[in-house]
Amino acid sequence: MKNLPNYLYPNYEDRLKKRIQRWRWQSLHIDPVLIICLLCLSATGLFILYSASNQNNQTVLAQGLRIGLGFLVMIGLAQIPPRRYYQWAPWLFSVGVFLLIIVLLLGKMGHGAQRWLALGPIRFQPSEVMKLAMPMMLAWFLNDKPLPPSRTVLLLCTLLILIPSLLVAKQPDLGTAILIAMSGCFALFLSGLSYKIIGSVILLFTLLTPILMHFMHDYQRDRVLTFLHPERDPLGAGYHIIQSKIAIGSGGSLGKGWLQGTQSHLQFLPEHATDFIFAVSGEELGYIGSLIILGLFILILARLLYISSQAQSTFTRLLSSSLSLTFVFCALINIGMVIGILPVVGVPLPLISYGGTSIVTMMACFGIIMSIHTHKKLLSS
Amino acid sequence: MKKKLAIKDHRLETRLFIKRIWALVAFVAVVVVCIIVRLFYLQILEHKFYSTLSDQNLLSIIPIGPKRGLIYDRNGVLLADNKASYTLELIPSKIDNLQHTITELGKIIYISPRDIDIFTKIAHQYHPFQPIPIKYKLSEQEVDQFLVNQYKFPGVKIEATLIRDYPLGATTSNVVGYVGRINASELQALNTNNYSASHYIGKVGIEKQYESTLHGEVGTSWVEIDASGHTVRHLIQHPARAGSTIYLTIDSKLQEVATAALAPEHGAVVAIEPNTGEILAMATNPNYDPNPFVMGLSADKYEALVKADGNPLFNRPIRGQFAAASTVKPFIALASLDEGIVNTQYTINDPGFFMLPNSHHKFHDWQPGHGRVDISKAIMESCDTYFYNLATKMGIERLDAALRRFGFGQATGVDMPEELPGLVPTPEWKQASRGQRWYTGDTVITGIGQGFLLSTPLQLAVSTATLAERGLHYQPHLVRKITDNDGVTTTTQPMMIEQVHISPYVWQTVINAMQKVVTDIHGTGEYFGRYADYSVAAKTGTAQVRGNDRNEEAVQTNIPKKFRNNHLFIAFAPVSHPKIAIAVVVEHSAKAAIVARKVMDYYLHKTVPRTLSAANRPTQLTGTGKTFEKSS
């Protein structure tokens, strides 16, 4: 098509320039729009963290380094063509499940909860690996099956989702377990799972809730009960949610001003640098600030879904879309919990909450998505 | 079926996928709208509500306790002080292992099992981030020991507070009283705002009477606090207003002399400046050290104090109601002379007893007989028969009225809580309280201050002061001046309550007779000593405790101490310009006159006569043998 005559192709020169530009990004396997959005969000995150950490430069620096590392991982993973992920998917998943079992056994041998494994100086959480491995595995599994999936396939998928989710929930890490299960469910839903089945599963869960409550850990049940009645225990379990609502509510439309939040700086708000960081921004930057952050997440989601819709194979489109949705739902669940419309589950606000592993995992997701986006033209041509 | 499985319709799948994406987008949109609405509700609609909650979180009004006013005596001797005291406090929320910390602390500072007991008992009343006291009154050495090791004990601190201290201890305890921790019933009666930072309140004595003066006004400090309750910064401060300083009319040295003079006997001394009503001394023996009461006395120690010999907590001067006995005779004499019931020429012949007409009951005199007795001799020798006769002539109504004119039977209104009024008995009173009619015999013995008549040492002193001033009755008081926080001093002006109008001749007659009580060889007050270089008017009194012969000296050693007579002594000096009026009550002992002499000597000369001693004085003085028969 590059040899077409000028009269058939008006503004050929301009188009060619654009093409070359895009090609350049493409050859670097980078999506500039996504990267700019992510940079905006992480910059906002650091800005809020500076205040949330009581102007602790070290915390901000550590977080900045993690984000930097995350970007490197993202660009690195973007270079790997999707077919490699396709090849790795079952192996990654198996290793992930194996590690989860080891963590669980180690936890039993030691005492209490254990979520990470130590490999020399590096500590890492197998559950973070699972966040990536789960959608990869399902996408791999569904790739050569006709869609919507048949019942046998569905049953196998359910098993694939349940095993790692339950292993993580057992650690116990309810937040991550929910995210992992969710990413699998998204893949299933996008593969065309019939609404009838979805409806009956939801109905079943509603009926099973009391039984589920029975098997929950005390602290997990507490969280759910506290969510329903925060005033039940204003100095104990309900304290988080009450103080968080006070922080956000007292922010008003324009907020108390950056670094001026009293709820976080005077330690009334617990976990203000990690899970409840959205309350800090709500207090200091007000309604406007909250909407801007929400807007950034929506913007990123829009870009991610656009990329997913452009994907060509079942594997790539399922993988990229379920990764994208997991990212956004992670954010929505966190915000919902901070503003008191969802129970308190340990889910961080992606790219803003302080904490290492989740940032790197998220960036790895974006790396895979960018790989899918930037390799597709080459595959098709 | 298997064939169908193998076939993938890519176009159909793509369309399905796009549909599903849109379905999820719709779901995300719903969730986002929910979040936006919720944020709008929290941040816009409910903003004011949450703003208030946020302010309440961080703003705290901390009350500042006022410094309690000091109490001095009339010469500027400190009676009640505020001493810095160090308290060891633990903050449980900052301590990982409480047990371990207490054990480790115990190696540096001695902490008794009782301290730990109390600590665990009160711990639940505090928030975990509040400091809880574990040991009070640390010595400076202990404070130093702790400060050196403080780095080992996060969450442990030493708090300096002001604790009330009474430097003179027992000497002035019955006047000054003490403060103690505010209890629940006091808290209800209080203006709790003003006491929000106060832990102590006056429980007894001046500390209680002048609580509002001494306490001062609470200050407030608006502070910003963090979640653990620590002050971040001070915003506004209204300093507390310290309590006023009180200067008592008490001369603490005189009080000490009086207490020492009483010891080891149980009794009371009240000395008053007659022309002002200022109480110079108000001593009681035994008494107690008020200092342990401040921090709270343990139940068994309190029990021991209540059961102690002589009841140290009993404030005799205002609460001890004694039979006034013969000390009422001058007052009855004054009234009867004034009302013309008898005159100075009126005499009786005393056979040693008195009999009512149509009765065979003999009212015995304390002596076998005084011979011919006029009113002066009756006072000087304390002739009972004369006053039996006089009381009968007056009748109970006029007798009561006479006693009331001099303040008997009514509280003196001194500025001390819990004063008792004494008792001037009336037929109505007897009917009401005992259900018995009044007999003439009751009137007869009232005439010598026995029977139902009761008076407090303070009352006796006030009556004596009124007599000394020839009828000018001044309000007795304990506070001389009050200096408030701004240095403004209010001095208590002498306040005359009433004037007892009696002709100067009558006053002179009775006062002359009272002088003879101590100067005449037949006077009953010779224990006082005749060689005082100031003129003294006095009257003795002996109150029967349990039906003993009042002339009991012959058999004294055989009577158990607690059944021996109470001895009283009232006096004022100098006679022409009285500077001191005194009332002494000594339980079950004849020391009263000697006590009075010591107190008066000290007050008028600032010396204690060394030669005066209870054992040898009477024999040295008279050596007539007759002395032994007299003691009243």
CB B473 within 8 A of CB B499: yes
Q: Which of A325, A336, A339 sits opposite B24 (nearest CB)?
A: A325
Domain extent for B443: 252-305+317-629
Distance, in Å, from the CA atom of B53 to the CA atom of A349, rounded to the nearest integer, reads: 26
The per-residue pLDDT for A109 is 61
Do the chains contact at B58 and A317, CB–CB below 8 Å? no
Q: Is the CB of residue B4 less than 8 Å away from at least one CB of chain A?
A: yes
CB B81 within 8 A of CB B68: no
Please give the residue that has the higher pLDDT: either B321 or B614: B321
Q: Are residues B524 and B592 in the same domain?
A: yes
In a domain, B28, yes or no: no
Whether residue B627 has pLDDT greater than 60:
no
Whether residue B616 has pLDDT greater than 50:
no
B428 exposure class (CB count in 10 Å sphere: 0-12, 13-18, 19+)? exposed
Provide, as residue numbers in chain A, all residues whose Cβ is less than 8 Å from the Cβ of B225: 266
CA B97 to chain A, closest CA, distance in angstroms equals 20
Q: Are residues B279 and B231 in the same domain?
A: no
Confidence tier at B530 by pLDDT (50, 70, 90): low
Mean pLDDT within B178-200 = 80
Please give the residue that has the higher pLDDT: either A124 or A155: A155
Given B206, B221, B248, the domain boundary residue is: B248
Residue B161 sits in a domain whose CATH number is: 3.90.1310.10
In a domain, B557, yes or no: yes
Do the chains contact at B35 and A305, CB–CB below 8 Å? no
Confidence tier at B357 by pLDDT (50, 70, 90): confident
In a domain, B15, yes or no: no
In a domain, B20, yes or no: no
The total number of structural domains in chain B stands at 2
The per-residue pLDDT for A13 is 75
Distance, in Å, from the CA atom of B527 to the CA atom of B619, rounded to the nearest integer, reads: 10
Angle subtended at Cα A34 by Cα A30 and Cα A37, rounded to the nearest 5 degrees: 140
The per-residue pLDDT for A376 is 65
Q: Tell me which of B42, B48, B49, B57 to substitute to probe the interface with A (most A C-beta atoms closer than 10 Å).
A: B42
Mean pLDDT within B49-72 = 85
Summary mean pLDDT of chain A: 84
Confidence tier at B612 by pLDDT (50, 70, 90): very low
CA B59 to chain A, closest CA, distance in angstroms equals 10
Q: Is the CB of residue B49 less than 8 Å away from at least one CB of chain A?
A: yes
Whether residue A220 has pLDDT greater than 60:
yes
Q: If you write DSSP's letter for every residue of A86-138 in order, what string do you get?
A: HHHHHHHHHHHHHHHHHHHHHHHHSSS----EEETTEEE-HHHHHHHHHHHHH
In a domain, B124, yes or no: no
In a domain, B215, yes or no: yes
Mean pLDDT within B281-294 = 91
Tell me which chain A residue has its CA closest to the CA of residue B30. Answer: A332
Provide, as residue numbers in chain A, all residues whose Cβ is less than 8 Å from the Cβ of B15: none
Do the chains contact at A287 and B224, CB–CB below 8 Å? no
Q: Are residues B165 and B74 in the same domain?
A: yes
Given B199, B220, B248, the domain boundary residue is: B248
The per-residue pLDDT for B129 is 61
The per-residue pLDDT for A288 is 94
The per-residue pLDDT for B100 is 86
Whether residue B39 has pLDDT greater than 80:
yes
Mean pLDDT within B485-489 = 89
Q: Are residues B238 and B269 in the same domain?
A: no
| Lowest-confidence segment of A58-67, A332-341, B110-119 by average pLDDT | B110-119
Whether residue A130 has pLDDT greater than 60:
yes
The per-residue pLDDT for A127 is 86
Do the chains contact at B54 and A282, CB–CB below 8 Å? no
Tell me which chain B residue has its CA closest to the CA of residue A325. Answer: B24
- Per the listing, tokens 């963090």 go with B226
In a domain, B514, yes or no: yes
Whether residue B609 has pLDDT greater than 80:
no
Confidence tier at A122 by pLDDT (50, 70, 90): low
Please give the residue that has the higher pLDDT: either B465 or B624: B465
The predicted complex's ipTM stands at 0.89
Active site residue B185: no
Q: Are residues B548 and B580 in the same domain?
A: yes
Q: Are residues B214 and B241 in the same domain?
A: yes
The total of other beta-carbon atoms located within 10 Å of residue A50's CB is: 17
Given B248, B272, B293, the domain boundary residue is: B248
Q: Are residues B354 and B210 in the same domain?
A: no
Q: Are residues B136 and B225 in the same domain?
A: yes
Q: Are residues B182 and B280 in the same domain?
A: no
Residues B147-182: tens digit of each pLDDT: 888 888 888 888 888 889 999 989 999 999 999 888
Whether residue B248 has pLDDT greater than 90:
yes
Confidence tier at A90 by pLDDT (50, 70, 90): very high
A177 exposure class (CB count in 10 Å sphere: 0-12, 13-18, 19+)? buried
Confidence tier at A365 by pLDDT (50, 70, 90): very high
The per-residue pLDDT for B161 is 82
In a domain, B367, yes or no: yes
Instruction: Order across the sheet with B566-573: list the strands.
Output: B278-285, B267-273, B580-586, B566-573, B537-543
Confidence tier at B569 by pLDDT (50, 70, 90): very high
Do the chains contact at A282 and B39, CB–CB below 8 Å? yes
Beta bridge partners of B567: B542, B586
| Lowest-confidence segment of A11-25, A107-121, B10-24, B444-458 by average pLDDT | A107-121
Provide, as residue numbers in chain A, all residues whose Cβ is less than 8 Å from the Cβ of B7: 146
Tokens read off for A31? 């999506």
| Lowest-confidence segment of A213-222, A357-366, B322-331 by average pLDDT | A213-222
The CA distances from residue A115 to A121, A169, A330, A346, B583, in Å, are: 16, 10, 19, 13, 88
Q: Are residues B162 and B295 in the same domain?
A: no
Please give the residue that has the higher pLDDT: either B542 or B562: B542
Q: Are residues B333 and B357 in the same domain?
A: yes
Among residues B511, B523, B462, which one has the least CA distance to residue B334?
B511
The SS3 call for residue B582 is strand
Phi-psi label, residue B138: left if phi above 0, alpha if psi -120 to 50, beta otherwise: beta
> Which residues are CB-neighbours of B486 under 8 A, at least 6 positions away?
none
Confidence tier at A338 by pLDDT (50, 70, 90): very high
The per-residue pLDDT for A263 is 83
Whether residue B438 has pLDDT greater than 60:
yes
CA A313 to chain B, closest CA, distance in angstroms equals 9
Please give the residue that has the higher pLDDT: either B104 or B269: B269
The per-residue pLDDT for B552 is 47
Q: Is the CB of residue B26 less than 8 Å away from at least one CB of chain A?
A: no
Residues A307-316: tens digit of each pLDDT: 988 888 889 9
Residue B607 sits in a domain whose CATH number is: 3.40.710.10
Mean pLDDT within A179-183 = 91
Tokens read off for A237? 């379990």
Among residues A244, A252, A258, A249, which one has the least CA distance to residue A44?
A258
CB B247 within 8 A of CB B482: yes
Task: Say which of B173, B221, B326, B455 is annotated catalytic.
Answer: B326
- Per the listing, tokens 């309350």 go with A279
Whether residue B7 has pLDDT greater than 70:
no
Q: Are residues B395 and B489 in the same domain?
A: yes
Whether residue B281 has pLDDT greater than 60:
yes
Whether residue B52 has pLDDT greater than 50:
yes
